[in-house]
Amino acid sequence: MFDFIEGEIVDKNPASVVVKSGSWGFKVMISLNSFTQLPEVNSPVKLYLYLNFNATTGRESVDLYGFMTESERELFALLKSVSKVGAKLALTILSSAEPDRLREAIAENDLNYLLRIKGIGSKTAQRIIIELKDKVPPPSYVGRRDSDDAVLALTSLGYSREQSFKAVEKVLNEFPDIELEELIRRSLAKI
């Protein structure tokens, strides 16, 4: 429904920001990671939004969550998809962990790193790794569309996401400016 908001920062604190867009003021919940990247009050800002409907508290509510990058928003949505991880815990996780380091921890089954995050116990940490391991690309892939397409091509051929990520990563390390077709071909040779 909502993709992003552009406007002027009216107020900000580590948990939320108020963005004036047109004649509307939107209160947007943010992670501490996004807060540290925000410009000063009265400055223009663009936040990528996630609209969350919550009916579990006995009364229905609708909250807007905002992120400075599309990558962080995607990670928020993935965390929220994990069993027993709601929007508040997903935001707490992103406030406590740098997104690239979190991706790396999930990809490498680093349970100890996840256990250091406030609000995450052993079972939740295990669920995050199990449910997201094949969904969260390692940090080196974030923001590179060709790598996503190459991994998708390899997984459609029957290879696991982990095998595909590793093969594509090896090729990208050798040839950072490679074209997609060549990336797929060379990645197949690495599997």
Neighbours of 138 (CB within 10 A): 18
Query: Tell me, what's the pLDDT at 129?
Result: 94
Per-residue model confidence as pLDDT tens digits over 149-178: 788 788 888 888 778 878 888 888 888 888
Residue 125, H or E segment: helix 122-132
Cα–Cα distance for residue pair 184/104, rounded to 1 Å: 23
Cα–Cα distance for residue pair 190/85, rounded to 1 Å: 36
Boundaries of CATH 2.40.50.140 in the chain?
4-132
Selecting from 1.10.10, 2.60.120, 3.30.70, 1.10.8, what CATH number does the domain 139-190 have? Answer: 1.10.8
Query: Tell me, what's the pLDDT at 156?
Result: 83
- Looking only at the bridges linking them, the beta strands covering 61-67 and 44-54 are antiparallel
* Fold of domain 4-132: OB fold (Dihydrolipoamide Acetyltransferase, E2P) (2.40.50)
* Closest C-alpha among 107, 123, 109 to residue 75: 107
Mean pLDDT, rounded, for 26-30:
97
- Looking only at the bridges linking them, the beta strands covering 24-30 and 4-12 are unpaired
* Closest C-alpha among 37, 88, 104 to residue 67: 37
pTM above threshold 0.95: no
Per-residue model confidence as pLDDT tens digits over 114-129: 999 988 999 999 999 9
Per-position DSSP letters for 90-108, written without gaps between them: HHHHHHHS-HHHHHHHHHT
Boundaries of CATH 1.10.8 in the chain?
139-190
Query: Tell me, what's the pLDDT at 146?
Result: 72
Cα–Cα distance for residue pair 75/97, rounded to 1 Å: 11
Share of the chain above pLDDT 90, in %: 54
